[in-house]
Structure 1
Amino acid sequence: MTLPDFIIGGAPKCGTTSLHQVLDQHTDVWMAKNELYFYDADDPVAHADFLGEDGNDLAWRTPQDPALQEWYQSRFKDAPDGCLIGEDTTTYLMSDVAPFRISAANPNVKILFMLRDPVQRAFSQYWHLLRSGRTCVSFEKALSSEPSIISGSTYAPRLRQFQHALGKDQIHVVVFEEFRTNQQAVLDGVTTFLGAPNLPLAQVDTWHNRTMYPARAETLLLLNRIGRILVRYRYARHFGRDHGILSRVAHKAYRHWFRLVEKHVLTQPRPPSEMRDKTRTYLNRHLSDRNAGLSVLLGKDLSVHWPGFSQ
């Protein structure tokens, strides 16, 4: 079986797309296209879109399914001989089941994580959900209605799970803020961890996934109330199976709807509003407590990079 040598496992909205694209330009590395969501396909927190209904029964995908295993291995079939093979699924860090499933299937795999100020990451994920049509409420309401916002910024306990499942030597953590300010040194640490030659950044494009925002959040909130019926079909064809004509048509309709929103509504390089002070105060305290001991776990004082973080 062809399985990846390493996985970029999260967290969402922490610069993993840029790291993916940089590594994909390395002559000794081959990256699978897009995020695969294999080891956490049935996780309702990370992937509510992947749970469906078959009549009155629940329908889901599981990595124990031979057909899904075959699909996963096919994602790596184009990798050249001798290259380090990587995949990128940023939701693995959010999943309580992914670390042990990965360990059981691929015990020698190396895992890369990128972590960002958890408060800023949560706010960025809210805008991602809003941009993709998956929420139609304010950030404050989304904190309770969208579990992935808080779960995606809960790093410490999930890192401990991965270390327990795979061992500390197979885990490498990049701090997003360090990646932005000292890219070459951080990338050298990544390539050394992977066992690949260092990659001079002067030879590659280093920043990707530039996010655009609406001029007015209210406009997108209103559009999402209208278009949210299509959002459930966003991943309808992700695992390559035929979901019937309704799903195929709805998936195409969602893609068309999203392209229209992207072209006509997402026109600004910055969010139209900042986080409210009281919300930031709450998240600083709550996410510091959720990540208790993280500075010790990583061996660095994260408050240097994350204002308001106290663990």
Structure 2
Amino acid sequence: MPLPNFLIAGAAKSGTTALYHYLKQHPQVYMSPEKETNFFAFEGQEVDFRGPGDEAMCRTTITILRAYEAQFEAVSDEIAIGEASPWYLYSTEAAKNIYHHIPNVKLIVVLRNPADRAFSSYLHVIRDGRESLTFEEGLLAEDERIAQGWEFIWHYKRAGFYTAQVERFLKRFSREQVRFYLYDDFLVDPVRFLSNIFEFLGIDTRFVVDTSLRPNATGVPKNRLLGRLLVQPNLLRSTTKLFMPKQLRYNVSQRINQRLLAKPSLIKETRKSLLSHYQGDTVALQDLIGRDLSAWAKE
């Protein structure tokens, strides 16, 4: 039974969902049907997160090896076999478990300005109707929520301290196996960004991906009723599942999201405070990965 030879390991809210769907377009790539299996983060564990809406992650997380292997039963002649679970980077267990099962794997890590990443994480749960606090209130409540067992998406600020996360992987995997990318590069030139990843995976770099769809958009619904129809269980969503293929449903919902969601701005004072908290970690990170991250300090 094949296991993946590459993983999109993080960071969450750094374009990894878009990257998953773009890679699925390449004929030499096989991506697991379940995006975010989270297997290596929770292998053998009972997943019991307790925040609002956390039951979805509890339900979809794969914790048994046989079930994880089943994600790759349909592999045929693809060269690159992968999956995308962006919480692997943040998980304290994932690097160890990945090395145990697939020590020769290639790892893709996309890093985003941690202040922007934190706010995007907040907008994600706002979009899904799970967050009732302002971002600033959510930051103050973060430690208590973590202590109560809320899932990683609620770790707005804590998940952005990347240095220790990266070090966990570099302790086990060679530099040749791990390739670091910046989210800003993805935004500026997605074609070049993807071509570099294709080269890393040893597949045809000339393949052109349709990047017109931007999956997993976050923001505040312009219309609350339509927002609830898109993200919460209801008769309309249940009915479409009966006659519309999963990928088509996803594409339609994402195109609607692009029109429906408004993107609020992070309050300047909050951003400044977050950047101050991350400053030391960012300096250490740029030395670790060999990339200039001075742009992250800009307010």
- 2:245 corresponding residue in structure 1: none
Q: Secondary structure at the match of 1:166?
A: coil
| CA shift in 2, pair 1:46/1:11, >3 Å | farther
Distance 1:129 1:196 in 2: 35
Q: CA deviation at 1:118?
A: 1.1
Q: What displacement does 1:188 show? A: 2.2
Structure 1 runs (4+) deviating above 4 angstroms are 42-48, 50-53, 257-260, 262-267
**Map of 1:192 onto structure 2:** 199
Matching of residues 107-256 of structure 1 within 5 Å: 107-146=103-142, 147-201=154-208, 203-205=209-211, 207-209=213-215, 210-215=217-222, 254-256=232-234
Q: Which residue of 1 aligns with 2:12?
A: 12
Question: Which whole-Å CA distance do the structure 2 matches of 1:2 and 1:269 have between them?
Answer: 39
TM-score by length of 2: 0.76
Decide whether the 8 Å contact of 1:92 with 1:98 is kept in 2.
Answer: yes
Query: Kindly tell me: are residues 283 and 46 of structure 1, through their superposed partners in 2, closer, same or farther at Cα, counting changes over 3 Å?
Result: farther
- TM-score with structure 1 length normalisation? 0.73
Q: 2:123–2:219: 8 Å Cα contact kept in structure 1?
A: no
In the other structure, the counterpart of 2:38 is 37
Counterpart of 1:167 in 2: which secondary structure? coil
Q: Distance in 2 between matches of 1:148 and 1:81?
A: 39
- Partners of 2:56 and 2:233 in 1: CA distance: 20
Aligned-pair CA distance for 1:106: 1.1
Farther off after superposition, 204-213 or 126-135: 204-213
Letter in 1 for 2:7: I
d(CA) in 2 for partners of 1:160 and 1:133? 34
Counterpart secondary structure, 1:112? strand
Corresponding residue SS for 1:87: strand
- The separation in 2 between residues aligned to 1:266 and 1:258, in whole angstroms, is 19
How far has the Cα of 1:10 moved from its partner?
Answer: 1.1
Deviations 1:230-260 (A, max 9, x none): xxxxxxxxxxxxxxxxxxxxxxx95329969
How many correspondences in the alignment?
265
Match of 1:228 in 2: none
Aligned position for 1:230? none
Share of identical aligned residues, percent? 28
- 1:232 match: none
> Where do residues 55-74 of structure 1 align in structure 2 (5 Å cutoff)?
63=63, 68-74=64-70
Whether the 8 Å CA contact 1:45–1:148 is kept in 2: the answer is no
Change (3 A) 1:15 1:46: farther
Q: Does residue 279 of structure 2 align to residue 278 of structure 1?
A: no
Which structure 2 residue ranges, 5 or more long, are not aligned?
Answer: 143-153, 239-252
Asked if the contact 1:44–1:51 (Cα under 8 Å) also holds between the matched residues in 2, the reply is: no
1:294 and 2:285 matched: yes
Deviation at 1:276, TM superposition (A): 1.7
